[in-house]
Structure 1
């Protein structure tokens, strides 16, 4: 029923130590000085007018239940305690929820299970770097709040001579259920149609596993959302490098049930409110992803 494709979907001294560092990064390991996310928690003041527009069924308990895939640093990942979900997506949505007089509670989920969870009522919202696309809009309402593209990464030095326009015969890592999987599948088909070897596509449930596979040499390269790829490279301490430019930028969106248009509308107003009061820019700058800032939120924008 659900097509979950869409953008989404980061070492140590010796090789074995490097893989451990990647695992720690996915769980919130920090760099030496002013790492992304360092500093005071960004908060927003409640807006009583907006809070009054939240449907009774959602505001009754004062909590909004959020489904998220916590393997996608720096957007959403587990902190050092192994259970608290942090990241720029989390900090920004916390501020949006606060505008509505709500507290966000996050539940980690496989990425491709979140939208079905929203539809079933398990989650009241999906916040997990979902790119807004036509296929998703068939099943959920989406409220835009950020913009990201796709970018590739490989081991430092690019010994495999990865060319994103000609990756035929290479082994490429992607996270399951992402637009990057569609992207690399189409590239592989182009290879075989042209008489070249197919791309070997390895899918990983967690983005951190895809990244580790590239660092270890199991895969030649990976492609992921641009802020995620950049963060992975930064956290690799010189072990990884970006390849090529960012392409196909598109908005991320919060996902709510298709029949909850009124809630989606007030979410859009709340995003616009945190943009207007500066909370939005503060949160994105704190995480070093302000290049993806938008100036206006939209409900179900054409893409």
Structure 2
């Protein structure tokens, strides 16, 4: 009898610890933060042409957050449409992959504070004869499926026909092949494609009449993982305070990059609009 009581008491003693365990505890226990990322987005998450390693702005953010949590970073490549489903299925710990905020996504995952802000524009083939957004009525546009670019196109250009593709390179290839007249994408990536095609067949022109959407990117965390979300936010603020965010920004987007941008945003809660 005494033995049974002792075993029961020992079992009960472990219940609070088990009940309080969450994703942050799991990350610390395994000593690893697994970041889901697309791996085909230029500048943010792509294969280095020299060693085929996945690199970019998002990857450096993943590495920096892991360092703040005192664990090692690990990457899991995923398609754009599968980012949120695979997070909810516990395939990785967080999404660090140009996850622009939308109401629909925010109903499925929790967002960290913002770590990148961009405008969504339309770019068309320069030889298309299209010079205004109004002229896109009835024309085909391409965008990555399950992306904020696709959402922006549907909301701002409902009279255009949207064709979606698995990733950004395929979406742009559709423009080059004449399957679509233009592409909806972030201003930064459109500038990269504009520079790459300048003076060549298939050159593009960005329609700067107005942005279709202002996109706020945050890190995605599973719903209810309050401690992990707070730890990620604390890490982002620490990265900003130490100057590391500036160094990451300058490497990929700022003074050390081809774009020479100035960081005009702060790590802060994403506007819920």
Task: Determine if the TM-score, normalized by the shorter chain, exceeds 0.5.
Answer: yes
For 1:274, the equivalent position in structure 2 comes to: 239
For 2:190, the equivalent position in structure 1 comes to: 229
1:242-273 per-position Cα deviation (integer Å, ceiling 9, x unaligned): 22144422310100111211110111011011
Q: Distance in 2 between matches of 1:287 and 1:88?
A: 6
For 2:216, the equivalent position in structure 1 comes to: 251
Give the length in aligned residue pairs: 240
For 1:283, the equivalent position in structure 2 comes to: 248
Equivalences for residues 153-172 of structure 1 within 5 A: 153-155=123-125, 157-172=126-141
- Say if 2:176 is the partner of 1:215: yes
1:88-109 per-position Cα deviation (integer Å, ceiling 9, x unaligned): 1111221222122122211111
For 1:240, the equivalent position in structure 2 comes to: 204
TM-score of the superposed pair, with normalisation by structure 1: 0.72
Which structure has more RCO (C-alpha within 8 Å, separation ≥ 6)?
Answer: 1
Q: Distance in 1 between matches of 2:35 and 2:132?
A: 38
TM-score of the superposed pair, with normalisation by structure 2: 0.80
CA contact (8 A) 1:146 1:293 kept: no
CA contact (8 A) 1:75 1:87 kept: yes
Q: Distance in 1 between matches of 2:28 and 2:271?
A: 26
For 2:227, the equivalent position in structure 1 comes to: 262
CA contact (8 A) 1:126 1:255 kept: yes
For 1:75, the equivalent position in structure 2 comes to: 44
For 1:151, the equivalent position in structure 2 comes to: 121
Q: CA RMSD, aligned part only?
A: 2.2
Structure 2: stretches of 5+ with no match in the other structure: 1-22, 255-260
Structure 1: stretches of 5+ with no match in the other structure: 1-53, 192-198
- Say if 2:90 is the partner of 1:125: no
3-state DSSP of counterpart to 1:256 = strand
Equivalences for residues 128-143 of structure 1 within 5 A: 128-143=97-112
